[in-house]
C-alpha cells in the first residue's frame, strides 16, 4: 500500500492511500482520518460512502467531519466510488453509470463484472486492509453516506447487522429498483432480472432485516432529486413495517450538495458516536 499523503488535522492525521485491488483488478485510492485518540489504541471506525461522480476527496475536503471525529474519537474511512483507469466501452459517457458510479454492487454483466465489484471491495477487501494497517476496532463499526452512498450504507447495514452498530444517511437513494438512477445502473450492472436487484434495495431489505438500532436520515426539501430519485418515504414505511426505528428529518431549504451535508454532519457524527460507544 502506497501513502499518497498524510496531513495533520485537528491533532489527528488525514491520509490518502493507494493500493492494487484484487476485487476490482485496478489501483484504488481511499482516505483514512485517524483521530488523536488512535495514538493510544484502537478506535471505532466509521465508513463513509460517497455519491455519484465523487472520489474519496469530496468527503475529506467538504464535509467538515474531521473536527467531530476528533472530538468523538472516531476513525473515518472513505473509499472511491468506482474502479478507475479501465476505459471500458461507454464507461465515461454518463455521470450516473460507469466511472464514479459503481452503486456499491457486484456487477454480473460483461464488461462490468470483472472490475465493478464495489460491494466486495467495500465490505471485504478494504476492511481487511484497513484493520491490518490502522488502529481501528473491527467490533465497533458504523457506516453512512450520501445519495448513491446513502443507498450503499443502508443496504450494507441492513444486510449485516452483526458487523455494523450504526447507520445514517444524507439524501439516500432508498429504493433504487424504482427510480431512474437505480434502474439504469442495475440494468447495466446486474442485467434484466429485476428479482436480482432487490438484494441492493434498502426498502426491500428492511422488511426482513434483523437491524434494530435507530437510523438517522436527513433530506433537504429543496433537493431537486427528491421527488424523482430519492423517495425517502418509501424507506420509512418499509422500516416501520419491519420494526426498525428510523428518524427522517426534512430540512427546509436545503439541496443535495455538500453544503447540506456539512450543515448536519455534527448530528450524524454524534449519532454514530453514541451507538459505537456501547
DSSP for the chain reads -EEEEEEEETTEEEEEEEEE-TTTSSEEEEEEEE-GGGGSS-EEEEEEE--TT--HHHHHHHS-HHHHHHHHT-EEEEE-SS--S---TTTTSBTTBBTTB-TT-B--STTGGGT-BHHHIIIIIHHHHHHHHS-EEEEEEEEEEETHHHHHHHHHHHH-TTTEEEEEEES----GGGSHHHHHHHHHHH-S-HHHHGGG-HHHHTTT----S-EEEEEETT-TTIIIII-HHHHHHHHHHTT--EEEEEETT--SSHHHHHHHHHHHHHHHHHHHT-
List, for residues 184-221, the tens digit of each pLDDT value: 999 999 999 999 999 999 999 998 999 999 999 999 99
Look up the pTM and report it: 0.97
**pLDDT over 90 (residue 170):** yes
List, for residues 42-70, the tens digit of each pLDDT value: 999 999 999 999 999 999 999 999 999 99
Domains of the chain and any CATH numbers: 2-277 (3.40.50.1820)
The residues annotated as belonging to the active site are: 147, 223, 256
**pLDDT over 90 (residue 178):** yes
List, for residues 250-276, the tens digit of each pLDDT value: 999 999 999 999 999 999 999 999 999
Mean pLDDT of 8-12: 98
Mean pLDDT of 86-90: 95
Mean pLDDT of 135-155: 98
pLDDT at 164: 98
Give the pLDDT band (50/70/90) at residue 101: very high
**pLDDT over 80 (residue 278):** no
List, for residues 103-142, the tens digit of each pLDDT value: 999 999 999 999 999 999 999 999 999 999 999 999 999 9
pLDDT at 122: 98
Amino acid at each position: 500500500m502506497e501513502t499518497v499523503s498524510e496531513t495533520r488535522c485537528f491533532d489527528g492525521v488525514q491520509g490518502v492511500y493507494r493500493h492494487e485491488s484484487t476485487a476490482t483488478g485496478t489501483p484504488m485510492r481511499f482516505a483514512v482520518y485517524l483521530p488523536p485518540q488512535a495514538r493510544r489504541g484502537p478506535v471505532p471506525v466509521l465508513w463513509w460512502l460517497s455519491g455519484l461522480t465523487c472520489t474519496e476527496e469530496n468527503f475529506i475536503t467538504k464535509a467538515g467531519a474531521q473536527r467531530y471525529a476528533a472530538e468523538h474519537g472516531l476513525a473515518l474511512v472513505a473509499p472511491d466510488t468506482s474502479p478507475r483507469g479501465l476505459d471500458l466501452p461507454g464507461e465515461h459517457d454518463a455521470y450516473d453509470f460507469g466511472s464514479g458510479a459503481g452503486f456499491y454492487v457486484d456487477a454480473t454483466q460483461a464488461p462490468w463484472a470483472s472490475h465493478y465489484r464495489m460491494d466486495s471491495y467495500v465490505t471485504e477487501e478494504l476492511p481487511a486492509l484497513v484493520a491490518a494497517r490502522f488502529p481501528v476496532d473491527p467490533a465497533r463499526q458504523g457506516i453512512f453516506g450520501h445519495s448513491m452512498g446513502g443507498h450503499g450504507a443502508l443496504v450494507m447495514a441492513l444486510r449485516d447487522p452483526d458487523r455494523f452498530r450504526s447507520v445514517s444517511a444524507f439524501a439516500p437513494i432508498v429504493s433504487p429498483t424504482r427510480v431512474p438512477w437505480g434502474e439504469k445502473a442495475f440494468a447495466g450492472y446486474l442485467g434484466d432480472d429485476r428479482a436480482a436487484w432487490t438484494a441492493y434495495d434498502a426498502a426491500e431489505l428492511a422488511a426482513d432485516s434483523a437491524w434494530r438500532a435507530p437510523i438517522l436520515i436527513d433530506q433537504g426539501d429543496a433537493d431537486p432529486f427528491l421527488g424523482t430519485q430519492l423517495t425517502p418515504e418509501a424507506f420509512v414505511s418499509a422500516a416501520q413495517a419491519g420494526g426498525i426505528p428510523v428518524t427522517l428529518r426534512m430540512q427546509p431549504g436545503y439541496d443535495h450538495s455538500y453544503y447540506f451535508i456539512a450543515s448536519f454532519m455534527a448530528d450524524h457524527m454524534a449519532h454514530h458516536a453514541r451507538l459505537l460507544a456501547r
